[in-house]
Structure 1
């Protein structure tokens, strides 16, 4: 199977490397410094079980998706439509585009751009990774995927499982995306504002109460949307700090690097949907505003 990773950050590099280790042809599409490092030395995949350089191709050009059977679409939610437009002319008919992104509507946004000949399926990602440097992805834990049904979904799931990626096909991916969104809303902004990892964060005064309020608001919005959120949400929220105590949120990593975050598609989405549906979301609003203020401060400092 030929695989292209559009937006080869920490998530895309991890899954791309796992597929490449299993013998699939993989090309990473990313930033120049990252591409140069990968082409020079291979992609370094550092996990608790192994640390090795994986041979993959790398390019800065969206046209590198040409001929791919599977596209792992991993760009920031803020770049979804623009990135979909970039790959649109180069996609092979029948290629499956699998969205591995934060947020709950990226698959719909990609589908609105691409032709009907390309299937688009959403995936829920449960992995703790970070870019430790150009061409170097570090895996902290987990790694499972939940993907929506599609024509090639079972084939892709088999390949992912064989590559060491636990994969489940679910008819309620929308609910699972909301479950993941709730986890992100609970932790991402708090980790970003404090620049603390989850395990330290939850020990702070009043933090568990704050998280409880955020989660309750998210669930209220989900119910108003008619979304069935699967599983025990409170247990899943507690498990994040227990299973990934040293992990910083992606929002924290973005702010630490002076990059725009996806907060508009996390707590910001809850605020917008709450307003539209008449559901109060004061805790999510506070976190959203705090992250936006920090982003604004960084932009002003660069100006």
Structure 2
């Protein structure tokens, strides 16, 4: 099985090592010092006291790799539009695209079944290019729950978690998604196939929509955001607005808002990805995590006053830092 991981950073690198050790024919697309280190020394994964090293093909030119069975996109969602043309050589007639990204994916309204069927969202897919040029019919949904980090170029440290729920937009258990899930399981990962993948997408986004921008504005870790009465209340208000929007699209939340906040609090002194990006001078993932919820609120005519206010502040913060 030929698999290309497009964006072999912290999560992509973790997947690359695990899948390569499970026997998949893995190629990694990366750049810069990380790519150079992987080419020279292989890709190293640190899990606890264990060290795993693999030597997959690594490149910054996807055209070298040819068509794949699966392309797993592990980029920040706002980066995908910029690499659409580079992805094309990886796509054969039957290639599936696995969207291992945060937020609402470009294919969200494919086989959705309501009046928004076939719609695109400008905040995450400007001009509908991903829909047209990658194709929603290729997509398999994937939610990323593990936490990993690049400890040094070519070195990934696993922090916690191994769960990657998968699902088709239609909810069916296709042969493709079953093959992919079986490979993930062989690689030591949890990969439940969900018949309602959108519910799980929103469950993760439910926390990201509030904790990420609040942390970027306050520099607080999850435990502080969820413990301080004022930021906990702010988070809850944003989450309730988000829940109203999602439920309009038929989403069912399997936990209530208080339990979701408590789950985040128990993670402890963790910096969200948006705060990490701000501190490291990297573009902040605002549109896929926050703006898209505002846009979907406009579609449903549900007011989002709290989201609007926090989004205005975090966008200004990112612009001042030159990261938006």
**Structure 1 length-normalised TM:** 0.89
Deviates more, 1:191-200 or 1:25-34: 191-200
Deviation of the 1:233 alpha carbon: 4.6
SS in structure 2 at match of 1:92:
strand
User: Residue in 1 aligned with 2:45?
Assistant: 45
Aligned length: 298
Q: Does 1:113 align with 2:133?
A: yes
Deviation of the 1:123 alpha carbon: 0.9
Deviation of the 1:115 alpha carbon: 5.7
SS in structure 1 at match of 2:268:
coil
Mapped to 1, the partners of 2:279 and 2:44 lie a distance apart of 22
User: Residue in 2 aligned with 1:288?
Assistant: 311
Deviation of the 1:181 alpha carbon: 1.1
Q: Encode CA deviations 1:266-303: one digit per residue, 9 max, x unaligned.
A: 12112222233222222222322222112111129xxx
Deviation of the 1:64 alpha carbon: 4.4
Decide which of 123, 133, 154 is 2:142's aligned counterpart. Answer: 123
Mapped to 1, the partners of 2:54 and 2:257 lie a distance apart of 36
Over 3 Å counting, the alpha-carbon distance change for 1:174 and 1:112 in structure 2 is farther
Q: Does 1:136 align with 2:160?
A: no
Mapped to 2, the partners of 1:224 and 1:249 lie a distance apart of 28
User: Residue in 2 aligned with 1:240?
Assistant: 264
Q: Encode CA deviations 1:242-265: one digit per residue, 9 max, x unaligned.
A: 1x3243211112111212112112
SS in structure 1 at match of 2:92:
coil
User: Residue in 1 aligned with 2:186?
Assistant: 162
Deviation of the 1:107 alpha carbon: 3.4
Instruction: Kindly indicate whether the alpha-carbon contact (under 8 Å) linking 1:85 and 1:114 is maintained by their aligned counterparts in 2.
Output: no
Instruction: Kindly indicate whether the alpha-carbon contact (under 8 Å) linking 2:42 and 2:53 is maintained by their aligned counterparts in 1.
Output: yes
Mapped to 2, the partners of 1:12 and 1:203 lie a distance apart of 32
Deviation of the 1:169 alpha carbon: 0.7
Over 3 Å counting, the alpha-carbon distance change for 1:246 and 1:47 in structure 2 is farther
User: Residue in 2 aligned with 1:181?
Assistant: 205
Deviation of the 1:226 alpha carbon: 3.2
Deviation of the 1:120 alpha carbon: 1.6
User: Residue in 2 aligned with 1:251?
Assistant: 274
Over 3 Å counting, the alpha-carbon distance change for 1:277 and 1:107 in structure 2 is closer
Deviates more, 1:244-253 or 1:232-241: 232-241
Instruction: Kindly indicate whether the alpha-carbon contact (under 8 Å) linking 2:145 and 2:162 is maintained by their aligned counterparts in 1.
Output: yes
User: Residue in 1 aligned with 2:60?
Assistant: 60
User: Residue in 2 aligned with 1:69?
Assistant: 69
Structure 1 unaligned regions, length at least 5: none
Decide which of 263, 276, 295 is 2:286's aligned counterpart. Answer: 263
Q: Does 1:146 align with 2:165?
A: yes
User: Residue in 1 aligned with 2:116?
Assistant: none
RMSD: 2.2
Over 3 Å counting, the alpha-carbon distance change for 1:201 and 1:258 in structure 2 is same
SS in structure 1 at match of 2:143:
strand
Instruction: Kindly indicate whether the alpha-carbon contact (under 8 Å) linking 2:46 and 2:156 is maintained by their aligned counterparts in 1.
Output: yes
Structure 2 unaligned regions, length at least 5: 109-124, 169-173
SS in structure 1 at match of 2:145:
strand
**Structure 2 length-normalised TM:** 0.84
Instruction: Kindly indicate whether the alpha-carbon contact (under 8 Å) linking 1:76 and 1:101 is maintained by their aligned counterparts in 2.
Output: yes
